[in-house]
Chains A and B, each alone.
Chain A
Amino acid sequence: MKNIYLIPLILSIFSLAVIAIALQLDTSPEMIVGDSMQARSFPIFLMILKLILIGILTFQFYKNNPKPIALEKYHTWGSMFLFLLFYLLTVYTDMFIGIFIVIFLMSILWGERRIWVAFLTATITPGLVFLLFDYVLKIRFPRGILMNLYYG
């Protein structure tokens, strides 16, 4: 099977999964819903519409035979991995430590050869953003190693 058909396949599985989950939803008594719809009806209707469109899309692929899409560059996969790293760092250390490390690594990954430039970008950006949001917009950031030191 050509990898272009993976898109309709994934979309179909997703739609069927939504229908299956929607069918498990509670139903409300007739006196509340009245002549209107149950909570499950609208999502199911949407997914049926979507499945019809996926059918048309598959037919279009079959007819036009589009070129398969090349795999992403390592920069893209690397950036996605950095998102995951950011999640772990934010949950287990601090959001700003996560931002600092991710900005630094992303600069290097994307081709910055001057370590000090990447370091400055990673330090100044979160610093300025923190000052703006904390002092001007009065946003309270999630607690972590750094924020515990700051908020006490």
Chain B
Amino acid sequence: MFEQAISAMASVVVDPYLLGLIFATTILGVIIGVLPGLGATTGAALLLPFTLTMDPVHAIAVLATIYVSATFAGSITAILINTPGTSAAAATTFDGYPLAQKGEAGRALGIAVISSTVGGIFSVLILCFAAPLLARVAYEFRSPEYFALTVFGLSMLASISAGGAVKNLIGGIFGVWLSTIGAERVTGIERFMFGNYELYEGLHFVPIFIGLFAISELLVQSKTVDKIIKTVSMKAVKLPTLEDYKKIWKTILRSCGIGTFIGVLPAEGATVASMIGYSEARRWSKNKKEFGKGSIEGIAGAEAANNAATGGAMVPTMVLGIPGSGTTAIILVGLMVHGLRPGVYLFTEQVEKVYQIFGSMFVANVMFMLMGLYAAKLFARVSLVPTQILWPIVFALSVIGAYAFQGQLLDVWLALIFGVIGFFARRHGFSVAPIAVGLILGEMVETNLQHSLKMFDGAWWMILTQPLALMFLVFAFLGLCGPMIFSWITKQKD
């Protein structure tokens, strides 16, 4: 197994086509990352239709590369124009931009590049070791365990970064309901189709995701057309000095651990990881006063954590079929579309493909480091593309991408409708990621609940007698009610 894994990962380096693809996608990912509003999730949603005709490994490598490179690239604009290219880079603005204003933009970018690369590579290594181990545990799972696990995954939506807990849960339930549209899998009874037989097999993820992430973002961006962007000048990206390394190595290591752990948690992602990475860097720092004024520890803490979350988020996605973030939800759809069923099967029957994907992520981390060091200045210029040119292009890519998935105009209309729904949801403080995660997990929840009920002759409480299922349900309960109980106890003490 180990030998097979190593040779599969190494095969990425000797496959010129795949290397070329990763190189081109890294450039695209960095461009997507530096364009404010067009983050990793939107980028992956737009690119998904383009991967339909590709080999499965190449397709997932493209999506994973977009994920890691766009997550890093958000820091370029965070540092140079005080506008995070992705939400995961929001914490980088706290110290990156002040440092750039002091005339040290190159140093700030250098710290961000190195921290992101270390974080990304660390998490890929953890992914390589943790995923097969978790898959071995998951081998024991039956329907009650999977049902409890998906409930746990849905409960984690409560703590997703944007929106409040209640709003996120409402979004998640709406997503689960969307998964019930179409013919019911056991009885074949048509649900909520209103005579539209194109919906017989249910709503397809691709057009819905294009709508929720890309079209809704277009409408959000329509409110920012008057915004004037000011850039900070920069000569070149500077590698951190020995003095800098001495100051930040502990922070980077800590953030690697934090980011990977948070990434592994279902429904959490790079944004939460970077915020916690930043606040922990501040908590442990000897120079707390520097934070907010251009601390390199602050940049390193946030950047190492957000890229470490990318590998972490791939663990539940590939092993359990539970996405760790909005972008991994799209990667999960990519896996399904290409016939790679996430779970134990993937790690027993298709080990080679799995490790080729991991190897691609490793290579992508190295490539974005080189691009960050040598071409960040050039990429920063991309962020100045006028919104009135960029977003109409995104519209064209979205509608054609939605159509290309199945060759049905209905998918285009669905993308536009869900774009409008997603926009109004976001306008009123609901994040769209829970809807996407709910849509993916919906089928798993219902099917496993049905199977569990059949297993236990309709006695649903028997699910609680399964130790692993009970553990996940307790976690779900704690995830939902823990913060409330904790704050109540604190209030009582006060």
Report which A residues bind B (CB closer than 8 A). Answer: 7, 11, 18, 21-22, 25-26, 28, 32-40, 42-43, 46-47, 49-50, 53-54, 56-57, 60, 69, 72-73, 75-76, 78-80, 83, 86-87, 90, 95, 99, 102-104, 106-107, 110-112, 117-118, 121-122, 125-126, 129, 132-133, 136-142
Contact call B219/A79, Cβ cutoff below 8 A = yes
Q: Does B14 contact A (CB under 8 A)?
A: no
Contact call A137/B53, Cβ cutoff below 8 A = yes
CB of A51, distance to nearest CB on chain B (Å): 10
Contact call B222/A69, Cβ cutoff below 8 A = no
**Which stretch, B109-117, B121-129, B164-172, touches the partner chain A?**
B164-172
Chain B positions within 8 Å of A11 at CB level? 170
Contact call A106/B392, Cβ cutoff below 8 A = yes
Contact call A33/B187, Cβ cutoff below 8 A = yes
**What CA separation (Å) do A107 and B222 show in the bound complex?**
11
Q: Does B31 contact A (CB under 8 A)?
A: no
Q: Does B391 contact A (CB under 8 A)?
A: yes
In the complex, the chain A residue whose C-beta lies closest to that of B405 is A139
Contact call B189/A141, Cβ cutoff below 8 A = no
Chain B positions within 8 Å of A142 at CB level? 403, 409
**What CA separation (Å) do A112 and B167 show in the bound complex?**
37
Contact call A112/B388, Cβ cutoff below 8 A = yes
Contact of A57 with B222 at beta-carbon distance under 8 Å, contacts A32-B186, A43-B177 already known: no
Per-residue A-contact encoding for B375-395, CB less than 8 Å = 1, 0 else: 000000000001111011101
CB of B63, distance to nearest CB on chain A (Å): 16
Our pick among A32, A37, A121, A136 for the contact of B449 (Cβ within 8 Å) is: A37
CB of A23, distance to nearest CB on chain B (Å): 12
Q: Does B428 contact A (CB under 8 A)?
A: yes
Contact call A107/B389, Cβ cutoff below 8 A = yes
CB of A40, distance to nearest CB on chain B (Å): 8
> Besides the contacts A43-B177, A43-B192, A76-B423, what 16 more A-B pairs have beta carbons closer than 8 Å?
A25-B189, A28-B187, A32-B186, A32-B187, A36-B450, A36-B453, A46-B173, A53-B166, A57-B167, A69-B428, A72-B223, A90-B412, A95-B399, A106-B388, A132-B50, A133-B400
CB of B297, distance to nearest CB on chain A (Å): 35
**What CA separation (Å) do A138 and B52 show in the bound complex?**
11
Our pick among B50, B186, B391 for the contact of A36 (Cβ within 8 Å) is: B186
Chain B positions within 8 Å of A103 at CB level? 392-393, 395-396
Q: Is the contact region of chain A dominated by helix, strand, or loop, or is it mixed?
A: helix
Q: Does B454 contact A (CB under 8 A)?
A: yes
**What CA separation (Å) do A115 and B401 show in the bound complex?**
27
Our pick among B222, B400, B454 for the contact of A99 (Cβ within 8 Å) is: B400
Contact of A57 with B170 at beta-carbon distance under 8 Å, contacts A69-B428, A111-B225 already known: yes
Chain A positions within 8 Å of B170 at CB level? 11, 50, 53-54, 57
Contact call B186/A33, Cβ cutoff below 8 A = yes
**What CA separation (Å) do A112 and B225 show in the bound complex?**
10
CB of A27, distance to nearest CB on chain B (Å): 8
The count of residues in chain B whose C-beta lies closer than 8 Å to any C-beta of chain A is 59
Residues of B18-62 whose CB lies within 8 A of A:
50, 52-53
Contact call B393/A72, Cβ cutoff below 8 A = no
Central interface residue in B219, B389, B392, by most chain A CB within 10 Å: B392
CB of B435, distance to nearest CB on chain A (Å): 12
Our pick among A35, A79, A90 for the contact of B409 (Cβ within 8 Å) is: A90
**What CA separation (Å) do A36 and B459 show in the bound complex?**
10
In the complex, the chain A residue whose C-beta lies closest to that of B220 is A76
Contact call B223/A125, Cβ cutoff below 8 A = no
Contact call A95/B403, Cβ cutoff below 8 A = yes
Q: Does B184 contact A (CB under 8 A)?
A: yes
**What CA separation (Å) do A132 and B164 show in the bound complex?**
41
Chain A positions within 8 Å of B386 at CB level? 112
Q: Does B416 contact A (CB under 8 A)?
A: yes
CB of A13, distance to nearest CB on chain B (Å): 14
Contact call B457/A35, Cβ cutoff below 8 A = yes
Chain A positions within 8 Å of B463 at CB level? none
Chain B positions within 8 Å of A69 at CB level? 427-428
Contact of A140 with B396 at beta-carbon distance under 8 Å, contacts A42-B449, A76-B219 already known: no
**What CA separation (Å) do A60 and B53 show in the bound complex?**
48
CB of A66, distance to nearest CB on chain B (Å): 8
Q: Does B142 contact A (CB under 8 A)?
A: no
